[in-house]
């Protein structure tokens, strides 16, 4: 299958990784609450690696980031940055196909930042993403407010739900529409133990991640 004509060209994605962008979309603020040391995390449509590099710091030496993109040029940029930052051992790059991601690792967290609107078959894509989660997994989708209308974003949320992912909160991310999901069969350790829902659970689910 050929690349969608809507795919962000690699030479433009390079410009997405700059200090102003990192100020507006601080990876630490956006992802800090979701990623822990030792985890395996997925950066879907990683582009030039703004989030990949930050995620590699968050997972620490024992963790792993799988950076996925349909464009080899993006992955080359990520590999180069990973070496420059001394993080190469924590980052695996994977070239996906427009009609399939093609990995089988189970992940704790996946990010799809500003990429779903470029995917040609969102239903199939999210079905595959949903199959990659550990029971405690989380998926954060963020889409650009300008390109993606409220109704288009709702279609994405509907597709995620059809794939077995349940919306849990709408984190506030500047200039974005966003939703955090967890698998329908998600393990909530305290609930599993038969304990009641704590106010902290509710707080965690609805907090503003862009504080």
Ligand X SMILES: C[S@@+](CC[C@H](N)C(=O)[O-])C[C@H]1O[C@@H](n2cnc3c(N)ncnc32)[C@H](O)[C@@H]1O
The strand pairing partners of 40, in sequence order, are 64
Interface with ligand X, residue 47, by CB under 6 A: yes
Nearer to ligand X, 44 or 148 (CB): 44
The conformation of residue 38, written as its DSSP 8-state character, comes to T
Pairwise CA distance, residues 181 & 134, whole Å: 13
Nearer to ligand X, 96 or 186 (CB): 96
Other Cβ atoms within 10 Å of 112 Cβ, number:
23
Choose the stretch contacting ligand X; rule: CB under 6 A; options: 26-34, 108-116, 133-141, 154-162. 108-116
How far apart are CB 204 and ligand X at their closest, in Å?
24
- The residue within the footprint of ligand X, chosen from 22, 29, 79, 98 (CB under 6 A), is 98
Question: Could you tell me which residues come within 8 angstroms of residue 14 by beta carbon, excluding any fewer than 6 positions away?
Answer: 48, 77
Choose the stretch contacting ligand X; rule: CB under 6 A; options: 27-35, 102-110, 114-122, 198-206. 114-122
Question: Are the C-beta atoms of 42 and 140 separated by less than 8 Å?
Answer: no
Choose the stretch contacting ligand X; rule: CB under 6 A; options: 6-14, 32-40, 54-62, 150-158. 6-14
Other Cβ atoms within 10 Å of 3 Cβ, number:
13
- Burial label for 5, CB within 10 Å (0-12, 13-18, 19+), is exposed
Choose the stretch contacting ligand X; rule: CB under 6 A; options: 63-71, 158-166, 179-187, 195-203. 63-71
Number of residues that bind ligand X (CB under 6 A): 22
Other Cβ atoms within 10 Å of 58 Cβ, number:
21
Nearer to ligand X, 103 or 157 (CB): 103
Where does this chain bind ligand X (CB under 6 A)? 7-8, 13, 16, 44-47, 50, 68-71, 74, 96, 98, 113-115, 118-119, 125
């Amino acid at each position: 299958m050929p690349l969608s004509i809507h795919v962000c060209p690699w030479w433009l994605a390079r410009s997405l990784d700059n200090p102003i962008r990192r100020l507006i979309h601080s990876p630490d603020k956006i992802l800090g609450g979701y990623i822990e040391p030792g985890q395996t995390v997925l950066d879907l449509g990683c582009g030039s690696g703004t989030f990949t590099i930050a995620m590699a710091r968050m997972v620490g030496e024992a963790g792993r980031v799988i950076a996925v993109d349909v464009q080899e040029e993006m992955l080359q940029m990520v590999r180069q940055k990973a070496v420059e930052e001394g993080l190469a051992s924590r980052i695996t790059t994977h070239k996906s196909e427009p009609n399939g991601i093609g990995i089988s690792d189970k992940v704790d967290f996946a990010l799809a930042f500003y990429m779903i609107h470029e995917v040609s078959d969102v239903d199939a894509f999210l079905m595959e993403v949903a199959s990659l989660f550990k029971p405690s997994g989380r998926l954060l989708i963020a889409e650009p407010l300008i390109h993606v209308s409220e109704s288009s974003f709702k279609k994405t949320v509907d597709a995620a739900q059809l794939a077995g992912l349940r919306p849990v909160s709408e984190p506030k991310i500047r200039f974005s529409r966003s939703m955090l999901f967890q698998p329908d069969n998600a393990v909530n350790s305290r609930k599993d133990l038969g304990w009641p829902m704590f106010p902290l659970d509710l707080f965690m689910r609805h907090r503003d991640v862009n504080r």
